[in-house]
Structure 1
Amino acid sequence: MAEEYSVPLLKKKYYKDCPGCKVDQMKELQQGIPFRELVSIWIVVLCTALPISSLFPFLYFMIRDFHIAEREEDIGSYAGYVGSAFMLGRALTSLLWGIFADRYGRKPVIIIGTISVVIFNTLFGLSVNFWMAVITRFLLGSMNGLLGPIKAYAVEIFRAEHQALALSSVSTSWGIGLVIGPALGGYLAQPAEKYPNVFSKDSLFGRFPYFLPCLIISLFALVVTIGAWWLPETLHKHDDIDISSDDSYDVLEAATHESNTKEIRETVEGRESTSLLKNWPLMSSIIVYSVLSLHDMAYSEIFSLWAVSPRKFGGLSYSTEDVGQVLAVTGFSLLVFQSSAYPYVERMLGPVMVARIASEQHQRGAANGIAMTAMSFFKAVGPAAGGALFSWSEKRQDASFLPGMQMVFFMLNVVQAIGMLMTFEPFLAQPRQC
């Protein structure tokens, strides 16, 4: 009798040709933490994170070598446009890639994203003029839409008890990309000047001094692309449940689904307008998130430009190697803080208010799409505005009020202060409690 009762009364039906069902079957057999899937997600995210920050240490010198700036003080403005191109492309296509992933699967988006790194990051390193650099960065951002789908994939490929670990691996890999990316760009740019015994000035890397770091990242992306073909798809691809089926699980699930659908419909009809744009707790949190994202990208761009610019303009005259070291140490410090000190601070002070705002369940997909698009647009504005501000500041070295770089860092602090003030009520509204 004991053996009879140990068998489930209702067994879930799996569809033979559905990849999502195959993943669900695999999860039922999982024992312990699935490290292979964890490493796969970690590597894919690292692949898409590296190109974002690798150009900052050498961007000033790249624009200088294009000879597009009439004066040296104008280099920052052109550098800002190149820095903004990636995020502008991502902002314009984030929602489309999310829809594509929901319709055709997460795996195609992942593979297309890694292939885009192979192609467009390589072409960026081979750029011979300003417009080629802008276009290749824009296309890289437009075609690389895997950040949102990879988070969904991380949840779907793991059992419930391991989903938090999977999402944390996404954040950790992104943080490590902020460490490795600038280091690669800083150490490997201009190799014929830094390592003349290895690279001659007449070689490929001598004629294209910013190609080597891009090539290393692209080769890594090529390996990731090949490995991604063996990733399992998690999207369910089968027709709706047939109530006439003899399977008892299907009958029960269909009946439950019909009941829940009716209840949800009645609840929604009884609410006032559910427009996301009228949901101020949601929109206020997105605005705060976007402002802080703008500051983050503007600071990354401006610091690199300031560090490598000549001392006569108030800069530090750093080499690309120096900038790569500083950015790598900064990224590593942030990674250490997030993994060690932050959990204790969060427990003492409570979670960050922006992360605390949540939408209703039926709005979460659209809300995430709006947040991703808004954040990308603000991150696109950051480098462009920062580069223009940087160039303007270099032209006012003798101003009586905040001369030179003082104005740049003053404006960065103003943006940061605005973002902090926006985290308080009444701007950042708390969601209504049920």
Structure 2
Amino acid sequence: MSPQVDEETPLLQVQQDKPQRTPLPWFQFTIVLFLQLAEPLTSQVIYPFLPQLIRDIGITRGDETKVGHYVGLLQSLFFLTQAMTVLHVYLTSVSLICITKHWSRISDRIGRKPVILIGLFGLSMSMYCFGLATTFWGLVLSRSLNGALNGNIGVIKSIMAEMTDATNIAQAYAYMPIAWSTGGVLGPMIGGALARPAEQFPQLFGHNEFLKKYPYFLPCAVPATFSAIAWLVTFLFLEETVQAPAFALPKIFRFKKNNTGKLMMSAPEINDLTTEIPDNEKPVPFRKLLNRRVLIAAGNYATLSLVDITFRAIQPLFFSTPVELGGLGLPPSSIGNLLSIFGLLNGVMQVFFFAKLHDYFGSKKTFIMGIASTFPIFACFPILTYLVKSNGGVTPLAWVFVLLQIIFSLSISFSYGAIFIYISAASPNRASLGATNGLSQMTVSICRAIGPAASNSLFSLSMKHHYLGGFLVYYVLFTIAALALVAATLLPRKV
């Protein structure tokens, strides 16, 4: 019904003031960003040297076209095992055993902090093992453990949502990529600069027999040690954001402060196990998570991750491929520098522009903009191949297209901030936020498990058999990007 008007009704309606933005809890928020840095460091530190590592262990037997197969497999293993264990971990009062429960869903019951501690421990130990591996199967095992013991991604997103409200969530997600961007800068830089240190720095490490035997231990040890430090910071300073009265925790995971304010471990109290919780504040059954809002948000998160991970997987492989085969033929140190430049620019863009773009365009348009940017990103690969083959090497014009590809790829990160807001809003209630993020993260981990192995293998096959002139892989990538763009149209206009 139209509002009643008369001659005294103002022609210009006074707009209501926007709600005042709630300040972020900066100390706890900073801790979350700090501990989140562990994952991008451990995942991206191997990217610059992984193709050379595959060549060094001899699994390809000198066949350059097979490097992509094995690089893609190792990149995918982390996300494959993560997808399996994000869905299959349960905590008993005695020990940790694998039976069917979510990392994120179980964090709704026992709290976020214990799950994060387990994940950081797993990241640290598995990265030390990766640096000590001298066979392909040793790399497979350590990389699998790296993903299997880590369920932090969805849990951290739940903490971020629980620290914020509708007035400051966009601001929080604008800062959230700082950790990933910092990891994107430091991880490749560390991997490129410290790989094979006895050769790169003979005066400093030339007589170190340990580093000669394990030439990739040093770059792996840096993020492994950081994860151990992050574990200690989490244990001492991170505050729990969810109450879990319906679940008995092992004593080691129960924390409270005594009369002097000192943090102490305590056994579960009987009141914690008997307190009644209103139905609308309880985590909903898993089947109720499978509603339209959650599935559309999770599906778009998955398609975004698929197009993004295929690009991230092919990019360092393309950079390291010899010029005669259509790549740039760059060493690990140069690849690390290029990936670090992207990480630095990405962090700056996210902090200064995401919240403004989101406020102006809204979540849906911001998300679609990032998906659309993948078309020029993928187009740069065949253009670069044509340029280096035509000129017999990397020319200044080729570097221009490398820079253009990096600039376009910055838009992808804007889509992540937008889709995180959709996922948080899709949760049936705040008590099910961890389960919603866990379900979303499981679909993403599956796509990220498929993406690197499939895209890098297709890259190798296209190059070896010259399918569609060696460009078959890029036609497939364009198709995936088009499907992701179609899926993005299903998102509601308003969150």
Fold agreement, TM-score > 0.5: yes
Structure-1 separation of matches of 2:337 and 2:142? 26
Whether 1:110 and 2:179 are equivalent positions in the alignment is: no
Cα deviation code 1:63-96 (max 9, x no counterpart): 1112112422111101111000111111112242
Structure-2 separation of matches of 1:64 and 1:104? 44
Residue 178 of structure 1, CA deviation: 1.7
Contact persistence 2:155–2:437 (CA under 8 A): no
Q: Secondary structure at the match of 2:488?
A: coil
Whether 1:186 and 2:188 are equivalent positions in the alignment is: no
Whether 1:47 and 2:33 are equivalent positions in the alignment is: no
Residue 39 of structure 1, CA deviation: 2.8
Residue 307 of structure 1, CA deviation: 0.6
- Alignment correspondent of 1:373: 442
Match of 1:176 among 166, 172, 182: 182
Q: Relative to 1, partners in 2 of residues 1:173 and 1:119: Cα closer, same or farther, differing over 3 Å?
A: same
Residue 98 of structure 1, CA deviation: 1.5
- Alignment correspondent of 2:492: 430
Aligned length, in residue pairs: 370
Q: Relative to 1, partners in 2 of residues 1:69 and 1:360: Cα closer, same or farther, differing over 3 Å?
A: closer
- Alignment correspondent of 1:204: 210
Structure-2 separation of matches of 1:147 and 1:83? 17
Structure-1 separation of matches of 2:25 and 2:295? 37
- Alignment correspondent of 1:59: 50
Q: Relative to 1, partners in 2 of residues 1:412 and 1:237: Cα closer, same or farther, differing over 3 Å?
A: closer
- Alignment correspondent of 2:230: 224
- Gaps in structure 1 of 5+ consecutive residues: 1-30, 241-256, 269-273
TM-score normalised to structure 2 length: 0.67
Q: Relative to 1, partners in 2 of residues 1:429 and 1:100: Cα closer, same or farther, differing over 3 Å?
A: closer
Structure-1 separation of matches of 2:289 and 2:113? 29
- Alignment correspondent of 2:91: none
Whether 1:292 and 2:304 are equivalent positions in the alignment is: yes
Structure-2 separation of matches of 1:384 and 1:182? 20
Contact persistence 1:151–1:170 (CA under 8 A): no
Contact persistence 1:201–1:207 (CA under 8 A): no
Cα deviation code 1:117-174 (max 9, x no counterpart): 2210010111111111111111111111122222333455689987766555433212
Q: Relative to 1, partners in 2 of residues 1:365 and 1:110: Cα closer, same or farther, differing over 3 Å?
A: closer
Structure-1 separation of matches of 2:155 and 2:332? 34
Give the letter for the 1:386 counterpart.
Answer: S
Contact persistence 1:178–1:331 (CA under 8 A): yes
Contact persistence 2:51–2:71 (CA under 8 A): yes
Structure-1 separation of matches of 2:135 and 2:243? 45
- Alignment correspondent of 1:361: 428
- Alignment correspondent of 1:312: 324
Which has the higher mean CA deviation after the structures are superposed, 229-238 or 40-49? Answer: 229-238
Q: Relative to 1, partners in 2 of residues 1:83 and 1:410: Cα closer, same or farther, differing over 3 Å?
A: same
Match of 1:419 among 476, 479, 484: 484
Residue 344 of structure 1, CA deviation: 3.4
Q: Relative to 1, partners in 2 of residues 1:333 and 1:98: Cα closer, same or farther, differing over 3 Å?
A: same
Q: Relative to 1, partners in 2 of residues 1:423 and 1:165: Cα closer, same or farther, differing over 3 Å?
A: closer
Contact persistence 2:48–2:333 (CA under 8 A): yes
- Alignment correspondent of 2:456: 387
Whether 1:215 and 2:221 are equivalent positions in the alignment is: yes
Q: Percent identity?
A: 31
Q: Relative to 1, partners in 2 of residues 1:152 and 1:66: Cα closer, same or farther, differing over 3 Å?
A: same
Give the letter for the 2:339 counterpart.
Answer: L
Residue 210 of structure 1, CA deviation: 1.3
Whether 1:328 and 2:340 are equivalent positions in the alignment is: yes
Contact persistence 1:179–1:327 (CA under 8 A): yes
- Alignment correspondent of 2:473: 408
- Alignment correspondent of 1:84: 76
Q: Relative to 1, partners in 2 of residues 1:87 and 1:423: Cα closer, same or farther, differing over 3 Å?
A: same
Whether 1:129 and 2:120 are equivalent positions in the alignment is: no
- Alignment correspondent of 2:240: 233
Give the letter for the 2:130 counterpart.
Answer: F
Which has the higher mean CA deviation after the structures are superposed, 115-124 or 345-354? Answer: 345-354
- Alignment correspondent of 2:151: 145
TM-score normalised to structure 1 length: 0.76
- Gaps in structure 2 of 5+ consecutive residues: 1-21, 88-101, 248-275, 368-418
Q: Relative to 1, partners in 2 of residues 1:157 and 1:117: Cα closer, same or farther, differing over 3 Å?
A: same
